[in-house]
Amino acid sequence: MPPIAARGILTQFGTNVIHENLDFELKRGEIVGLVGGSGSGKSVLMNTLLGLKVPDAGEIRYFGKRRADLDSREELRLKNDIGVLFQGGALFSSLTVRENVMVPMIEHFDMPKSLMRELADMKIHMVGLPPESATLHPADLSGGMKKRAGLARSLSLDPRILFLDEPTAGLDPVGADAFDRLILSLREALNLTVLMITHDLDSLYAICDRVAVLVDKKIGVYDRLGVVERYDHPWVQEYFGGPRSRSENAKAVRMAVHPERDAGPPAKAAGR
């Protein structure tokens, strides 16, 4: 069963409808990119899937069960199963990197602080930060290090699902590529399912198995990149074929490396 499945979602603020009759499903082990224009509701959808916002209609199931039907133990397990990397890392400025990574452990588990510190240092190493970064504060970190520290905290409780909100925003191309490679390696090592909100076309082409496009208050198309690129919608065509899109040469290289991502017939609207 899928880790997360949303059906018929309606979300609105007053009379402002953000999503209407939206369907979405994450497949286990995939890295999925979520894209859409400004104001299309990407962050609102993420917050809804996280349970931070209750949808006004429709239902969301986690591993086959509605959240409302979960008992207290299942609810706790679900919270532990989901990790989130917010934009900019969202680290606590007064805490060291190690202490930031320990925060979820302190909140959810009763274990010796020495063990928490050991586990935190393991997560810090896992995301590629040097050991000495554990005692640094966020103000002492570069932008890329902050992202990695936030990622280490999101992995603190060994989640099965990872949400990433613009993970490569603000990084230079070398740093962004390194972060993409890190996500791929963590997916393989930890058997993660990843949902990534991004505007970074390079990240979409480099690591995403499928891409979901938010247009007209719902998921218009949700498929492999080669299929999504051909979806007949003005925003999609501008996004993938506009002046700041990937060059044809870059697409050709990607097709040679990942031909399976470009197979399939022209895209149809999701749910049709």
Which CATH number characterizes residue 240's domain? 3.40.50.300
Query: In the predicted model, is pLDDT for residue 270 greater than 50?
Result: yes
The number of distinct structural domains making up the chain is 1
* Average of per-residue pLDDT across 173-179: 93
User: Is there a domain that residue 269 lies in?
Assistant: no
Given this model, what pLDDT does residue 68 score? 83
Given this model, what pLDDT does residue 93 score? 93
User: Is there a domain that residue 182 lies in?
Assistant: yes
Given this model, what pLDDT does residue 67 score? 85
Given this model, what pLDDT does residue 264 score? 52
CA distance 221 to 231: 7
In percent, how much of the chain has pLDDT > 70?
Answer: 89
User: Is there a domain that residue 272 lies in?
Assistant: no
User: Is there a domain that residue 21 lies in?
Assistant: yes
Given this model, what pLDDT does residue 233 score? 94
User: Is there a domain that residue 176 lies in?
Assistant: yes
pTM as predicted: 0.86
Range of the domain at 200: 4-262
Answer for the pair 27, 212: CB distance below 8 angstroms, yes or no: no
Amino acid at 222: Y
pLDDT tens digits, one per residue of 81-136: 999 998 877 899 999 999 999 999 998 888 899 999 999 999 999 999 999 999 99
CA distance 244 to 93: 35
Structure tokens belonging to residue 227: 């299929």
pLDDT tens digits, one per residue of 40-72: 999 999 999 998 999 999 999 999 999 889 888
Structure tokens belonging to residue 106: 């302190």
Q: How confident is the model at residue 253 (pLDDT cuts 50, 70, 90)?
A: very low
Q: Which residues contact 238 (CB under 8 A, 6 or more apart)?
A: none
Query: In the predicted model, is pLDDT for residue 260 greater than 60?
Result: no
User: String of b and e for 184-206 (b: at least 16 CB within 10 Å)?
Assistant: eebbeeeebbbbbbbbbbbbbbb
Closest listed residue to residue 79, CA positions, set 11, 7, 188, 158: 158
Query: In the predicted model, is pLDDT for residue 162 greater than 50?
Result: yes
User: Is there a domain that residue 194 lies in?
Assistant: yes
Answer for the pair 22, 217: CB distance below 8 angstroms, yes or no: yes
Given this model, what pLDDT does residue 13 score? 94
Tell me the HSE value of 242 on the side-chain side, using a 13 A CA sphere.
9
